[in-house]
């Protein structure tokens, strides 16, 4: 077979070629095993089975007892010091540890908390659009909003925000195989210190709020919920790191791919703008399906299990390829077309159904809805120019640059 999902060269291919390869893998009887490559400075295991069909990704996501998120959901495994810096993150935990953390932090994403954020998201989008000049969409738009929102949620003072911006890129550099990995590693020393400093800052905020509670998120996290549960200092720091990783690149890449999709599909764009409120909800779901901003997460099998004719053994690794599941023709007819009227409900862009389903999905939807409303109403001619410059990654479907004009 000429397809090797474990090799970086696969992830350098244009997206279209990669999707064609996944379409071929979906036609095979069973998930294919890919022996892992040795990546310097990363632990490598024996290899993984690639789950490429929608039904398989859903089954593995749902059955978290057998398909464990421990010791980590990234592939290959991150070095031990990353765990030290980021702390143990709920995304890499199984219940009951995961469930406890999720119960506590879910309050950050309650409808009331999200409604409180709306005015601020609108103001941030308006400021971003005020300052626009034709150039790079990622730098001017997509990279700005999600990080701003996370800082607002956590109550990071303005003076510290430049530091967050500067050091946030490195936090995503460990989650996949990237050419920037070594460059990132050389920057790691100073960035790790900066990240730890940011964690300390959030912990300090937590202490302040414990004595002087407000209606903000940090207060909600450090004061006990009805079951008497609260985050410890270390957990609060780790949660902030997780938000920076999970909530930043994902929303930013959806926006960047999104403007390109609206440019390349004028009929869909016309339909959207003909009745923005009626269509924007499904447009965002279709963007997330089509883009699949997180291309893969891994699970480790805890017990012998038969998945769709494949005999899995305890300890085997499986990788859930969301981008492939989201183009499975058994679920999405004509999957390579961007169609804002299709039934997007079953998409797995925010993860499959199960305990780890994206906690920030509604926040991401809110950010995307508000930003596209601002862009399309104030700059009706806004459009992408040329092709995006993509980052080579097996994890994020990441746009580094996308030229635009209006
Ligand atoms: C379009 C944007 C986004 C996409 C495509 C996305 C995708 C995902 C996916 C696929 C997972 C599942 C992980 C798994 O099953 O192992 C996940 C989990 C998670 N996401 Fe998102 N995400 C997005 C935005 C956000 C935002 C804005 C936040 C917060 C600010 C966020 C916070 C989280 C958290 C905390 C988890 C872990 C949940 C758990 O382990 O219980 N995400 N996300």
Q: Tell me, using a 6 A CB cutoff, whether residue 351 lines ligand 1.
A: yes
Q: Which atom of ligand 1 is nearest to the CA of 299?
A: 16
CA of 109 to the centre of ligand 1 (A): 12
* Nearest atom of ligand 1 to the alpha carbon of 364: 27
Q: Give the per-residue pLDDT at 50.
A: 97
| 246, 258, 368: residue to mutate for ligand 1 pocket, most atoms within 8 A of CB | 246
Give distance in angstroms: CA of 364 to centre of ligand 1: 9
What pLDDT score was predicted for residue 76?
A: 76
**Contacts of 203 by beta carbon, 8 Å cutoff, 6+ apart:** 233, 236, 237
Is any ligand 1 atom within 6 A of the Cβ of residue 301? no
Distance 245 CA to ligand 1 centre (A): 9
- Give the chain as a 3 state SS string: CCCCCCCHHHHHCCHHHHHHHHHHHHHCCCCEEEECCCCCCCECCCEEEEECCHHHHHHHHHCCCCEECCCCCCCCECCHHHHHHHCCCHHHCCCCHHHHHHHHHHHHHCHHHHHHHHHHHHHHHHHHHHCCCCEEHHHHHHCCHHHHHHHHHHCCCHHHHHHHHHHHHHHHCCCCCCCHHHHHHHHHHHHHHHHHHHHHHHHHHHHHHHHCCCCCHHHHHHCCCCCCCCCCHHHHHHHHHHHHHHCCHHHHHHHHHHHHHHHHCHHHHHHHHHCHHHHHHHHHHHHHHHHCCECEEEEEECCCEEECCEEECCCCEEEEEHHHHCCCCCCCCCCCCCCCCCCCCCCCCCCCCCCCCCCCHHHHHHHHHHHHHHHHHHCCCCEECCCCEECCCCCECCEEECEEEC
Q: Is 243 in the pocket of ligand 1 (CB under 6 A)?
A: yes
CB of 398 sitting under 6 A from ligand 1 = no
Ligand 1 centre to CA of 91 (Å) is 9
Going from the C-alpha of 61 to that of each of 6, 301, 357, the distances in angstroms are: 21, 12, 8
Q: Is 90 in the pocket of ligand 1 (CB under 6 A)?
A: yes
Answer whether 348 contacts ligand 1 (Cβ < 6 A): no
Nearest protein Cα to ligand 1, atom 10: 351
332 touches ligand 1 (CB under 6 Å)? no
> How many angstroms does the Cα of residue 134 sit away from the middle of ligand 1?
31
pLDDT of res. 181: 45
Q: Looking at ligand 1, which atom is closest to the CA of residue 293?
A: 5
pLDDT at 175: 42
Q: What is residue 197's predicted lDDT score, i.e. its pLDDT?
A: 80
Mutate to test the pocket of ligand 1, among 97, 293, 298, 360 (most ligand atoms within 8 A of CB): 360
Ligand 1: atom nearest CA of 363 is 27
Tens digit of each residue's pLDDT, the chain (406 residues): 799 999 889 999 999 999 999 999 999 999 999 998 766 655 556 899 999 999 999 999 999 999 999 988 988 777 676 677 666 789 999 999 999 999 999 988 999 889 999 999 999 999 999 999 999 999 999 999 999 999 888 888 888 887 777 767 554 444 444 444 444 444 456 667 777 888 888 899 899 988 888 777 888 888 887 788 889 998 998 888 888 888 999 999 999 999 999 999 999 999 999 999 999 999 999 999 999 999 999 999 999 999 988 999 999 999 999 999 999 999 999 999 999 999 999 999 999 999 999 999 999 999 999 999 999 999 999 999 999 999 888 889 999 999 999 9
pLDDT of residue 16: 95
The alpha carbon of 186 and the centre of ligand 1 are apart by a number of angstroms equal to 28
Q: Which atom of ligand 1 is nearest to the CA of 146?
A: 27
Identify the structural domains of the chain with CATH numbers, from first to last: 8-405 (1.10.630.10)
Q: Which atom of ligand 1 is nearest to the CA of 292?
A: 5
| Ligand 1 touching residue 246 (CB < 6 A) | yes
């Amino acid at each position: 077979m000429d397809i090797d999902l474990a090799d970086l060269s696969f992830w350098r291919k244009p997206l279209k070629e990669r999707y064609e390869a996944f379409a071929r893998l979906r036609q095979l009887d069973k998930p294919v095993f890919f022996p892992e490559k040795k990546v310097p400075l990363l632990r490598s295991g024996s290899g993984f089975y690639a789950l490429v069909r929608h039904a398989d990704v859903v089954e593995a996501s749902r059955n978290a007892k057998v398909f464990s998120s421990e010791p980590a959901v990234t592939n290959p495994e991150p070095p031990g010091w990353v765990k030290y810096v980021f702390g143990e993150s709920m995304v890499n935990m199984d219940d009951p540890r995961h469930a406890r953390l999720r119960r506590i932090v879910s309050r950050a994403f309650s409808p009331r908390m999200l409604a409180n954020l709306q005015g601020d998201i609108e103001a941030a989008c308006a400021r971003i659009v005020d300052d626009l000049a034709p150039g790079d969409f990622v730098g001017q738009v997509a990279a700005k909003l999600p990080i701003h929102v996370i800082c607002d949620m956590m109550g990071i003072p303005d003076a510290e925000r430049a530091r967050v911006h500067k050091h946030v890129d490195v936090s995503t550099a460990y989650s996949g195989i990237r050419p920037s990995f070594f460059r990132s590693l050389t920057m790691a020393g100073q960035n790790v210190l900066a990240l730890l400093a940011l964690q300390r800052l959030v912990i300090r905020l937590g202490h302040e709020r414990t004595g002087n509670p407000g209606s903000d998120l940090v207060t909600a996290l450090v004061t006990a919920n009805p079951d008497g549960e609260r985050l410890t200092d270390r957990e609060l720091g780790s949660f902030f790191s997780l938000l920076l990783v999970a909530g930043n690149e994902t929303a930013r890449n959806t926006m960047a791919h999104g403007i390109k999709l609206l440019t390349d599909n004028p009929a869909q764009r016309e339909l959207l703008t003909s009745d923005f409120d009626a269509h924007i909800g499904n447009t965002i779901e279709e963007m997330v399906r089509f883009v699949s901003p997180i291309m893969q997460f891994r699970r480790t099998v805890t017990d012998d299990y038969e998945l769709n004719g494949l005999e899995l053994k305890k300890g085997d690794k499986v990788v859930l390829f969301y981008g492939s599941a989201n183009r499975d023709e058994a679920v999405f007819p004509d999957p390579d077309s961007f169609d804002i009227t299709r039934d997007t409900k079953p998409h797995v862009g925010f993860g499959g159904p199960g305990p780890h389903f994206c906690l920030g999905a509604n926040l991401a939807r809110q950010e995307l809805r508000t930003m596209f409303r601002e862009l399309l109403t104030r700059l009706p001619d806004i459009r992408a120019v040329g092709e995006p410059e993509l980052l080579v990654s097996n994890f994020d479907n990441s746009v580094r640059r996308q030229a635009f004009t209006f």
